[in-house]
Amino acid sequence: MQNFVLENPTKIIFGRDTIGQIGPETATFGKKVLLVYGRSSVKKNGLFDQTMDSLQETGLSVIEHGGVRSNPVLSHAREGIELAKKERIEVICALGGGSVIDSAKAISAGALVEHDVWQFFKGKKSIKKTIPLTCVLTLAAAGSEMNGGMVITNEKTDQKFGTGNKLLHPNVSILDPTATFTVPPNYTAYGAVDAIAHILEFYFTTRDPATPVQDRFMEGLVINIMESCDRVLINPENYAARADLMWCATLALNGWTAAGLGLVGFPMHMIEHSLSALYNVPHGAGLSVVVPAWMKYQAEQNPTKFSQFAERVFQISAKNDSEKASAGIRQLTGWFHKSGSPTSLAELKIPVTDIPNISENALKLAKIWRLRDYDQKMIEEILLLCADS
């Protein structure tokens, strides 16, 4: 196990009928609230009204900043920052999934500085203070509700960049599984794939060969994500299944699994970010294509950990590590496919002839994330494995 510092100050309020607590919780940080949300779905399913009612009944003054799209864009975050500055916002409330929460985080950091918020993402400036943030989560996927990360797409430069800081942890996040009852099957599956991808980035990229405590925690999460997603896809209003899936997605990226792993990379995300940035595919759908290809590529180099994964997650027994690894990757890919998540570039309607362009874009992020093992050729080889499922 590697040395680590772990500090996660986010207060989680989890369960049924908890959304009404957003007003009192938000009020502990200030009176003037910026309510950040997405598009029409939260107005249709009643979550907007529940949140707004609770904020207003607590006596808070609410300014709205709606319209965050999936793969949230910089221009919209910048508008939020201007609004927060103009209105002297004291606390931000995010109602949505990872895209909304990440936009709210960008606003919470950007509204307290004079320079442009993109400087944080380019690593030119570091975050020193943020406006307090509360969340009502509506999608089991990104994990942003309990971590200090955020990802934004600069739509002018086709760059999807992320950054992290302890101060970006939400102060309070409300996780009511019923808020995800109306998430359609494909987005439910993309969310599950996203959460699995987060775990696999840690699981397979740690350079510590001995992380048994974290390994078993992560293997358990992957099993639970698949099982709970299966149950949700049969009955979208299965509370227990929605609850398991929601909590697993949070645990996948809240720092608990990663503690002790040392330096890890996010190579699958590095490649996927280019798919999202260039083609605006849903993040989970893009990962669903990249993850199997990346696993195949890596397992050929070193099958040991992939073999352990196959054995413990899918109970695969085979003659050797290499066979076990391959069988495990096939099982996982099969599960993605069965759940309605794409497993090839073809399914995303991305032509193979675009691969040089995608890899060129991805390489920029590889450099920023210091994924030194990844040159353009290697990224192209992985993308070629994405061509067919």
Residues 6+ apart with CB under 8 A from 149: 102, 143, 162, 163, 164, 168, 253
- Judged by CB under 8 A, the residue of 91, 107, 142, 221 near its own copies is 221
Residue 154 tokens, joined: 């600069």
1 contacts its own copies (rule: CB under 8 A): yes
From the CB of 297, what's the least distance to its own copies, in Å? 28
Nearest to 96 by CA among 58, 132, 70: 70
- With helix as H, strand as E and coil as C, how does 277-293 read? HHHCCCHHHHHHHHHHH
Interaction residues for its own copies, span 11-50 (CB under 8 A):
11-16, 18
- Judged by CB under 8 A, the residue of 20, 162, 164, 260 near its own copies is 260
Interaction residues for its own copies, span 237-256 (CB under 8 A):
240, 243-244, 247-248, 251, 256
DSSP symbols for 190-237: HHHHHHHHHHHHHHHH---S--HHHHHHHHHHHHHHHHHHHHHHH-TT
Beta strand pairing status for 149-154 and 61-65?
unpaired
Its sign, for the CA torsion 333, 211, 151, 107, is positive
217 contacts its own copies (rule: CB under 8 A): yes
- Judged by CB under 8 A, the residue of 79, 219, 230, 354 near its own copies is 219
227 contacts its own copies (rule: CB under 8 A): yes
First to last CA, the chain: 35
CB nearer to its own copies: pick between 172 and 290: 172
- Judged by CB under 8 A, the residue of 223, 264, 318, 387 near its own copies is 223
90 contacts its own copies (rule: CB under 8 A): no
**Which amino acid, 311?**
E
The 10 Å Cβ neighbour count of residue 246 is 27
CB nearer to its own copies: pick between 22 and 68: 22
Count of residues near its own copies by CB under 8 A: 38
Q: Which of helix, strand or coil describes residue 60?
A: coil
114 contacts its own copies (rule: CB under 8 A): no
From the CB of 280, what's the least distance to its own copies, in Å? 32
224 contacts its own copies (rule: CB under 8 A): yes
192, 226 contact by CB (below 8 A): yes
From the CB of 172, what's the least distance to its own copies, in Å? 9
315 contacts its own copies (rule: CB under 8 A): no
| Alpha carbon distance 114, 362 (integer Å) | 30
**Size (the chain), residues:** 389
CB nearer to its own copies: pick between 223 and 278: 223
From the CB of 14, what's the least distance to its own copies, in Å? 5
| Region of 60-68, 69-77, 223-231, 269-277 interacting with its own copies (CB under 8 A) | 223-231
Which residues make up the interface to its own copies (CB under 8 A)? 1-16, 18, 210, 212-213, 216-217, 219-221, 223-224, 227-228, 240, 243-244, 247-248, 251, 256, 259-260
